Structure 1
Amino acid sequence: MNHSNTPTRQYLNTFLLLILCMMSCENKQEEHKEDSGPNIIIIMADDLGYGDLSCYGSKLINTPNLDRMSEEGMKFTDFHSNGVVCSPTRAALLTGRYQQRSGIEGVVTAANHRSVGLAIEETTFADALKAKDYVTGIFGKWHLGYPEKYNPIYQGFDEFIGFVSGNVDYHSHIDQEAYEDWWKQNKLTKEEGYTTDLITEHALDFIKRHQQEKFILYISHEAPHYPLQGRQSKAFRVVGEPRARGPETETTVIYKEMIEVMDEGIGKIMDLLETLDLDENTLVFFCSDNGGTGYADNGKLRGTKGSVWEGGHRVPAIAWWPGKIKAGQINNDILMTMDIFPTMVNLTNGNNNTEFDGIDFTQTLFKNETIEDRYLFWRHKHSKDQKKVAVRNGTWKLVIQDADVSPELYDLNNDLSEKNNVASEFPGIAKRLLTQLRKWEKEVSENVKSVAP
């Protein structure tokens, strides 16, 4: 009997066993990957108007990639930012709670709030998902604290490249108080490029590097917030010379370009997900941080950014997850920014000790089920003594624009533009809403130290 091939066969058998073990491990990893939840990408525009996307009715601005997201996913018609300005909405997104609870009720301004920020003790969605072994990244705008100690890397994010102020020159990356403001992790770092493109490039790189891991990616765009600058615009801010706005010419053309460049980048994100076969295991959610400014198209909505009218907080929102979210759906439920975090927790089978104000809307995404009716609130303090407030319940909305003005009541189903005050016709409804508003104001303000304003 010839035994000359025995060692070779032993090696071959050992090799085959190793291959089978590796395949088994990979399969188990893939099963674990599926069981532990999807990748999640949150894309937030800045000051985008309700009618600024072609899928929301714009005839001027072309947004084919966001249109595609809408066609292949779910478009929301009654989605609202928690705040009517930047910082409050971002605090609500990060914490899943009304921003009043973290003391960030107004803009964390570059001029007056350079020493404050979102408390490190707050539990953010990045903290929660990192505990579930997610890689966490944010690229773009932070606006929840200027000092290094409030940097996103101390708030649950593994990676951060972007700016911490409300806006920067899109080319020189200097804020309106004339400070350099482009960070890599917790270090100021110079980088050439148009802000919108840089945010997209870093997001794409993050996805490529972490394609074999679970990740949560927060793409926080500056566009279309002022200063109005396109790719070919000149930088105008320099260190030491505070300046908010540059020479604003051809504003309609530039504003259009800013949104279309952002849309172009979103298309690159979608294409990369498909190329890497990640699209069917990745939820992409797009929204704006508040309503549009005077440059924007808010459609039929009354008011703009800073107002508690619908134009200040009803924003475009789209969810895209091929194979999971049925294509071509339009959802009319009333949702808010603070609902995103609880939904993430459910999708990732996570546990979170935070008492959310927001709700999980997973069943809305997958089954288009109607959200249970609830009271929702907006309060914008534009100074310590002046505030605007609103409360919504179903079709009814109560608005108080000033402390000296009587509450106004609107039936949004029949009066989306908030033109006809019907408080005198439905005093009982007005009283009920006002009672709930006062109760909420007292509750969210108890034992809270204001950060901004």
Structure 2
Amino acid sequence: MNIIYIMADDLGWGDLGCYGQEMVATPRLDQLASEGMRFTDHYAGNTVCRPSRLVLWTGQHTGHTAISSNAYYDFNRGETTVADLLWGVGYATGGCGKWSLGREGTPGHPNLKGFDDWFGYLDQGDAHNYYPTHLWHNSEKVPLEGNVLTGEKKHYGLVARDKVTYSHDVMVDWMLDWIREHSDEPFLFHAHFTIPHANNESGAATGDGMEVPSVGDYQQMDWPEPEKGFAAMVTRLDGDVGRLVDLLHRLGIAERTYLIFTSDNGPHQEGGHSHTFFDSNGPLRGLKRDLYDGGIRVPMIAWCPSRIAAGSVSEHISGFQDFLPTACEIAGVAVSDGTDGISYLPTLLGLKGEQEAHEFLYWRFKDKEAVRVGPWKGVRTSASSPLELYQIGIDLEEKKNISSEYPLVVRRLMALIDRAGGADPR
């Protein structure tokens, strides 16, 4: 079986039609959900991108990973990734988009972490710019025609003066070509696209960091320009997912391919875009950099025509750390004892009675911490703050702090935080 994992960047739980979005068009992702499974309670590894990706790659939560913030990190602890494990049993491994966990010449380069091929951005900061002068294919710089940077130091080399070649489009085309070339063998492919992350530097320079070649049909809307750009970016990504699905059908490999779509964390409020304009977090509280659910609960759609029941919805509580054991179970690979994840393959296959549940999920972002245990959610907004307690099942918006009403639950969740947190990573 093939596995394709698509990750959007800063896409909120409420940014897709199948999760309640009414202003931004996402017909192909909505169709994917109607043909597959939509998860209601899936969580990113963190509330910002680099540590969230580290959780995904290693199957460990942020109490055990090397970083819990966007501090620079390049796998210098020698961690094993899901790509390492699948490559070890003969899978072709490819990826595109934002890597962010190791530049050229470091131990974190994707070719040293299980990937035969990676095309895109190695550096996280470079990935802000949708019109860079080059991308990376493994260790080779690939020039992008016509793009010229302003050269101003205050822009950190991340703002283009001449915008000709849109990086996202180039990466999508490369992804489709790679899948064509490897369609006769089992493969793992990660597409970690940068849409709809803002170019923060361009936003600071111009007031609009939502870079996209055209806003298309949104031009007629009486919206601020950054909101037109945001909507156009999401709809563009939606269409590209549709192109991928169409290709899988044409190649005759749709029936043997698991496709997962998600986002690296909650919605942003950057580059002139406001997360409230499209209600990007839906009914959830918070956004990127928060550990309330709006910052960490993300959309997830799973699709495989021969394995996943069409139109199914799962309330299974899961997180990024679960992808490694899930992919390994699909590929028939043994998982080491070091993972914090639990395979959600039984849920994908409709075997609800066989699905193991988490005792708890844990997050740390700098000095913030959160834990979820079934219907209970605990949040600490700083190391010195008391634990806030919410009953997610009846208070999805995390409005009513009930810590004073349930002291025993607070004590239990604090014990789990102390157990999970360990030494404070960066």
Deviates more, 1:164-173 or 1:297-306: 164-173
Work out whether residues 183 and 251 of structure 2, in 8 Å CA contact, stay in contact via their aligned partners in 1.
Answer: yes
Equivalent in 51, 58, 62 of residue 88 of structure 1: 51
- CA drift of 1:253 comes to 0.5
Instruction: Tell me what 1:3 maps to.
Output: none
Mapped partners of 1:375, 1:120: distance in 2:
26
Deviates more, 1:293-302 or 1:127-136: 293-302
Mapped partners of 2:27, 2:224: distance in 1:
26
- CA drift of 1:322 comes to 0.3
Instruction: Tell me what 1:321 maps to.
Output: 304
Mapped partners of 1:343, 1:363: distance in 2:
9
Mapped partners of 1:74, 1:368: distance in 2:
13
Equivalent in 39, 56, 68 of residue 76 of structure 1: 39
Where 1:61 maps in the other structure, the secondary structure is: coil
Identity rate of aligned residues, in percent?
Answer: 35
Instruction: Tell me what 2:86 maps to.
Output: 129
- Structure 1 unmatched ranges of 5 or more: 1-37, 174-179, 234-247, 382-386
Where 2:143 maps in the other structure, the secondary structure is: coil
- CA drift of 1:197 comes to 1.3
Mapped partners of 1:415, 1:433: distance in 2:
18
Aligned pair 1:355/2:333, yes or no?
no
CA shift in 2, pair 1:391/1:322, >3 Å: same
Aligned pair 1:206/2:178, yes or no?
yes
Equivalent in 244, 250, 259 of residue 275 of structure 1: 250
Equivalent in 278, 285, 299 of residue 302 of structure 1: 285
- CA drift of 1:194 comes to 1.3
Work out whether residues 120 and 154 of structure 1, in 8 Å CA contact, stay in contact via their aligned partners in 2.
Answer: no
- CA drift of 1:120 comes to 6.5
Alignment of 1:13-412 (within 5 A): 38-108=1-71, 113=72, 116-119=73-76, 121-149=78-106, 150-167=108-125, 168=127, 170-173=129-132, 182-192=135-145, 193-227=165-199, 228-232=210-214, 250-294=225-269, 295-296=274-275, 297-353=280-336, 355-369=338-352, 371-381=356-366, 387-412=367-392
Q: Deviation digits for residues 289-315 of structure 1, max 9, x if unmatched?
A: 001112331011111000010101000
* Deviant stretches of 4+, over 3 Å: none
- CA drift of 1:198 comes to 1.6
Where 2:365 maps in the other structure, the secondary structure is: strand
- CA drift of 1:190 comes to 1.1
Where 1:273 maps in the other structure, the secondary structure is: helix
TM-score by length of 1: 0.80
Number of equivalent positions: 378
Deviates more, 1:158-167 or 1:220-229: 158-167
- CA drift of 1:371 comes to 4.2
Mapped partners of 2:129, 2:168: distance in 1:
8
Q: Deviation digits for residues 174-222 of structure 1, max 9, x if unmatched?
A: xxxxxx6621111222124312212211110011101111110000100
Mapped partners of 1:130, 1:146: distance in 2:
21
Work out whether residues 62 and 364 of structure 2, in 8 Å CA contact, stay in contact via their aligned partners in 1.
Answer: no
Work out whether residues 62 and 363 of structure 2, in 8 Å CA contact, stay in contact via their aligned partners in 1.
Answer: no
Deviates more, 1:95-104 or 1:343-352: 95-104
Where 1:189 maps in the other structure, the secondary structure is: strand
Mapped partners of 1:366, 1:52: distance in 2:
26
- CA drift of 1:101 comes to 2.7
Where 2:64 maps in the other structure, the secondary structure is: helix
Mapped partners of 2:370, 2:129: distance in 1:
34
Where 2:389 maps in the other structure, the secondary structure is: strand
TM-score by length of 2: 0.85
- Structure 2 unmatched ranges of 5 or more: 146-164, 200-209, 216-222
- CA drift of 1:354 comes to 5.3
**Amino acid aligned to 2:102:** G
Q: Deviation digits for residues 235-291 of structure 1, max 9, x if unmatched?
A: xxxxxxxxxxxxx96011000001111111110100000001100000000110001
Q: Deviation digits for residues 327-386 of structure 1, max 9, x if unmatched?
A: 0001011100110110111111112435210001111000151542411111101xxxxx
- CA drift of 1:406 comes to 1.7
Mapped partners of 1:208, 1:60: distance in 2:
34
**Amino acid aligned to 2:375:** T
Mapped partners of 2:77, 2:248: distance in 1:
32
Instruction: Tell me what 1:27 maps to.
Output: none
Please provide the CA RMSD for this pair. Answer: 1.8
Where 2:361 maps in the other structure, the secondary structure is: strand
- CA drift of 1:403 comes to 2.5
CA shift in 2, pair 1:324/1:144, >3 Å: same
